[in-house]
Amino acid sequence: MTTADWDEVKRLAADFQKAQLSYTLQKLSERNCVEIIMKLTENKLLDVIFTNDGKEYVTPQHLAKEIKDELYIHGGRVNLAELANILNVDLSQISKIASDIEKHDKGVKIILGQLIDRNYIAKIAEEINDKLNQNGFISIADLTLNYDLPAEFLQSLIEKELGKSIFGKQDTQDPRIFYNQGYVARNEAKIRGALSAITKPTPISAVLGQCSVPERIFFAILENLQEKQQVPGVVTGKQSSNSIYVPTIYSKTQSEWVDNFYKQNGYLEYDALSRLGISDPKSFVKRHFSNESLVYLDTVAVGPVLIDQVDANIEEVVATGSYTDIYPLLPSVFSSQDVERLLKESSSRMKSSIHIFATTVIVSDAYLQALYKQLEPLAEKKAKEAVESGKWLQSIVENKLKSKTSDVSDNKVDRKAERRKKASSGKAGGGSQGRETKTKSTKKKYQQGKSQDFDSDDEPSGPTHGKVQLELVNTTDIKKELNKDENLADMDEFIDDLSAHLQLLLNKQVAVIAEQLSQKHKSTDLNEVDDRLNAIITNMRVFDKGIKCLDKHDQTPMAKYLLKTLGVDFTTEIFKLAAHQNVIQCSPNLTSEARQKMLLDLPKEVKEPLTNLHKAVAGNSVEDFFNTIEPAMSVCCLVLKKYDKKKDRPVIIGHREALLEQLNNTQDPALTLHLTTTILFTAATQNALHMSGRHVSSILSFLQPLLEQSTIATLNKYHDLVLQYLTSSDPAIKEELHKQLEDGLQEIKKIANEYKKQLKVDKAQD
């Protein structure tokens, strides 16, 4: 403010005083006074605070003095809102002045909208100390509810005054709890007495309930007592009411029992240790016997004494080439799983070739080899049965079919994966406890120790190698053989596992033997098929010569019939052989459609000649058929024998004799006429003929110039009767015709037999 301004203020003040002392007519009104004060305040020439009603005003200094006076009157703690009501001043002004007071006076604080001075804080400290002496302990939570002050403020207050105006001790576990020394001493005495009297593991919750000691200070006192070595024991587990207190005398007794039991028996059972109160038996044993070489099993820990006994039994089994059940030799507390694991570890450590069956029986390699040799005759028998019954071949066929199906499926998957890959990549561009009992019934598969010398890894081709497993030797057969041994008769579980093990080995051996027998049979069957097919071809050549004696218009249906019968027989036989050789399925009734389908599965080198044969047999030319037989036989490992015309005569004679024998044994008129016609053709032409009943009429026409007129007349008449009989539907007429046919039957047979004599004369002349 400048000197001129100050002078102006002085002048105005003098005028104001003069006006006040003047007469009423010269005094300022209340409104004018208010306006003047507001003007001064706006110009920041006057600093005053209006009351809530606006009729009074007070300077900040005076308001601060009044706030301090009220704080003193209220005992050092007053609410700012209450001050605003008392002093009739706006709360914001009260808060502002109170903040200035707190800022300049370190003895005054604003807490939760309340103004508190050091006297009140000292009073609280004294009251807290009194409560501590009265109750023995205090908690910040209780004080917060009592004084309606923040927990942080009270916590800080007590910690600052601790040892000054508040005499106590802060809890190490919970810093919000404070005790005095007397309270701690009383509870310490209770705990020390209770724990000293305990002789067995006791839950901490029981101790707390008996001593009425708060859990919050129990563990702090216990740690202090343990540091002073005034408590004979330890607390197991995490510090809580569920923890267990174990007195030293109990631990000592416990350790003595464990040492004595182990010394006498050579093992320790975990359940027994648990019953002693040891919560983690395995860890306890590891700590207690840290210098011992123990084997820790599922239920027991085994010492060197029992391990040596097991090792000795294994050595004896290997040396004698026998077997033994180790289970009865071990204590009864051992489970079968414990025994099995112990045997495995011993076998691995000793590097001995033993096998474990039924979890507890150890068997030497030599014993298994002896059993295997004993069962070899059974394997040979089963192999022979499989080959002779066709099971072996059927299994090979099924394996091949499954393999093809799998290949097709894999190819489909590969193609799909390739398509997805292309799609995703887009276009091209940048002891003492021993017992004598039988093995427990714990069904498990046998376990092997070392790999067997006689168990080959190479599996033969066939069912054991493919996807279809043919069980040639079953476990029932093996059990039957094993039960012949009286020593094994009562060991059911051992026999079950042993049978399962031997079954695998025997089935491999059976597969090898069956394969060998199959190859041998193939060779024998091949010779038989070769002879049979060559005989068919020879007969067809002889019959073809007979067909060529006929008129040309009669040759085609006869040739077609020859192909339809003997030609189809030949084709069917060779197709079945090809299916067998190439291990594909073949229908028993091999129709033309079935042959066509089978050609799709044959290899290329076999498919082509057989396709030609398949087409030729369906045609009309016997010569075309003859041209395809040699390549077809060649791809099936067969040899077509060279045609020898000199052998035709014996074939024709043999064929005629067979026809005559059949003729003399039949009473069927139609068949009699058929056979007679065929025999007469052979006698007249010196050629054999293969024909059906439909061809009788044409053959009789062919024979007419070669036979006597009476003979032809008789045959034609009989032929007409046969036709009438076969086509008639009138029972009476059929009966009459049948009688006439029976009456002329012997005459027809006589005609055939007379030509038989003539053929014999011709044969003698030749």
Flag whether 231 is in a domain.
Answer: yes
250 and 178 in one domain?
yes
Q: Above pLDDT 90, what percent of the chain?
A: 2
Flag whether 201 is in a domain.
Answer: yes
The answer, yes or no, to whether residue 385 has pLDDT greater than 80, is no
Q: Which of 613, 643, 673 is the last residue of a domain?
A: 643
CATH code: domain of residue 176: 1.10.10
Select, from the ranges 41-45, 85-89, 510-514, 702-706, the one with the highest average predicted confidence (pLDDT): 702-706
- Mean pLDDT over residues 33-52, rounded? 69
Select, from the ranges 278-287, 435-444, 467-476, 576-585, the one with the highest average predicted confidence (pLDDT): 278-287
Please, are residues 508 and 458 in contact by the beta-carbon 8 Å criterion?
no
Residue 110, classed as helix, strand or coil, is: strand
Strands 295-296 and 323-325: unpaired
The answer, yes or no, to whether residue 458 has pLDDT greater than 50, is no
Mean pLDDT lowest among 294-298, 327-331, 429-433, 488-492: 429-433
- Mean pLDDT over residues 163-177, rounded? 77
Flag whether 249 is in a domain.
Answer: yes
Closest by CA position to 138, among listed 112, 173, 166 = 166
Domain that includes residue 539, residue range: 526-643
Please give the helix or strand (H or E) that residue 363 lies within, else none.
strand 361-364
What distance lies between CA 712 and its chain's CA centroid? 86
Q: How far apart are CA 411 and CA 683, in angstroms?
A: 65
Please, are residues 247 and 199 in contact by the beta-carbon 8 Å criterion?
yes
Between CA 142 and CA 197, with CA 182 as vertex, the angle to 5 degrees is: 110
283 and 217 in one domain?
no
- How many C-beta neighbours within 10 Å does residue 647 have? 13
- 715 versus 31: the higher-pLDDT residue is 715
Q: Which of 214, 234, 254 is the last residue of a domain?
A: 254
The answer, yes or no, to whether residue 763 has pLDDT greater than 60, is no
CATH code: domain of residue 74: 1.10.10.10
Flag whether 556 is in a domain.
Answer: yes
Residue 244, beta-bridge partner list? 203, 236
Closest by CA position to 574, among listed 545, 558, 598, 540 = 598
Flag whether 483 is in a domain.
Answer: yes
- 441 versus 702: the higher-pLDDT residue is 702
The answer, yes or no, to whether residue 570 has pLDDT greater than 50, is yes
* Amino acid 432: pLDDT: 35
149 and 51 in one domain?
yes
The answer, yes or no, to whether residue 756 has pLDDT greater than 60, is no
631 and 558 in one domain?
yes
* Amino acid 420: pLDDT: 56
The answer, yes or no, to whether residue 63 has pLDDT greater than 70, is yes
Q: DSSP secondary-structure letter at 111?
A: E
Closest by CA position to 12, among listed 42, 36, 38 = 36
Mean pLDDT lowest among 40-54, 236-250, 404-418, 474-488: 404-418
* Amino acid 275: pLDDT: 80
The answer, yes or no, to whether residue 405 has pLDDT greater than 50, is yes
Q: Which of 610, 643, 676 is the last residue of a domain?
A: 643
378 and 482 in one domain?
yes
Flag whether 476 is in a domain.
Answer: yes
Q: How far apart are CA 221 and CA 224, in angstroms?
A: 5
With a CB cutoff of 8 Å and minimum separation 6, the contacts of 605 are 635
376 and 509 in one domain?
yes
DSSP codes joined into one string, 636-666: TT--PPPP-GGGHHHHHHHHHHHHHHHHHH-
* Amino acid 766: pLDDT: 44
Q: How far apart are CA 551 and CA 24, in angstroms?
A: 176
With a CB cutoff of 8 Å and minimum separation 6, the contacts of 109 are 102, 115, 116, 117, 121
Please give the helix or strand (H or E) that residue 79 lies within, else none.
strand 77-79
Helical H segments across 333-433, by residue range: 336-350, 365-374, 376-389, 391-425
Return left, alpha or beta for 713; rule: phi > 0 is left, psi -120 to 50 is alpha, else beta: alpha
Mean pLDDT lowest among 288-302, 314-328, 402-416, 447-461: 447-461
Flag whether 229 is in a domain.
Answer: yes
284 and 199 in one domain?
no
- 595 versus 482: the higher-pLDDT residue is 595
What distance lies between CA 145 and its chain's CA centroid? 63
Closest by CA position to 656, among listed 680, 636, 634 = 680
Question: What's the number of CA atoms in the CB half-sphere (13 Å) around residue 107?
Answer: 9
The answer, yes or no, to whether residue 467 has pLDDT greater than 50, is no
Please, are residues 620 and 560 in contact by the beta-carbon 8 Å criterion?
yes
Chain mean pLDDT for the chain: 75
The answer, yes or no, to whether residue 440 has pLDDT greater than 50, is no
694 and 602 in one domain?
no
In the structure, what pLDDT confidence band is assigned to residue 564 with cuts at 50, 70 and 90? Answer: very high
State both tokens at 728.
Answer: 């008639």
Residue 44, classed as helix, strand or coil, is: coil
386 and 286 in one domain?
no
Cα Rg of the chain (Å, integer)? 61
DSSP codes joined into one string, 442-454: -----EESSPPTT
Mean pLDDT lowest among 169-183, 264-278, 581-595: 169-183
pLDDT in tens, 219-249: 666 777 767 666 776 777 666 666 776 676 6
The answer, yes or no, to whether residue 571 has pLDDT greater than 80, is yes
Q: DSSP secondary-structure letter at 439?
A: P
- How many C-beta neighbours within 10 Å does residue 179 have? 22
pLDDT in tens, 74-122: 888 888 888 878 877 878 878 887 888 888 877 788 888 888 888 888 8
Task: State how many domains the chain has.
Answer: 6
Q: How far apart are CA 361 and CA 449, in angstroms?
A: 12
* Amino acid 632: pLDDT: 87
- 39 versus 419: the higher-pLDDT residue is 39
202 and 244 in one domain?
yes
CA distances from 247 to 236, 271, 606 (A): 11, 21, 93
197 and 138 in one domain?
no
Terminal alpha carbon distance of the chain:
174
Q: How far apart are CA 708 and CA 710, in angstroms?
A: 6
* Amino acid 45: pLDDT: 63
The answer, yes or no, to whether residue 659 has pLDDT greater than 80, is yes
Closest by CA position to 389, among listed 523, 517, 569 = 517
Please, are residues 190 and 157 in contact by the beta-carbon 8 Å criterion?
no
Inter-helix orientation angle 568-581/492-547, to 10°:
150
Please, are residues 67 and 73 in contact by the beta-carbon 8 Å criterion?
no
- Mean pLDDT over residues 120-134, rounded? 82
**Residues belonging to the chain:** 766
- 37 versus 149: the higher-pLDDT residue is 149
Q: Where does residue 558 rank: exposed (0-12), middle (13-18), buried (19+ CB within 10 A)?
A: buried
Mean pLDDT lowest among 362-366, 456-460, 641-645, 704-708: 456-460
119 and 57 in one domain?
yes
With a CB cutoff of 8 Å and minimum separation 6, the contacts of 215 are 208, 241
- pTM over cut 0.85: no
In the structure, what pLDDT confidence band is assigned to residue 383 with cuts at 50, 70 and 90? Answer: low
Inter-helix orientation angle 592-599/568-581, to 10°:
30
Flag whether 78 is in a domain.
Answer: yes
The answer, yes or no, to whether residue 273 has pLDDT greater than 70, is yes
With a CB cutoff of 8 Å and minimum separation 6, the contacts of 508 are 456, 459, 460, 464
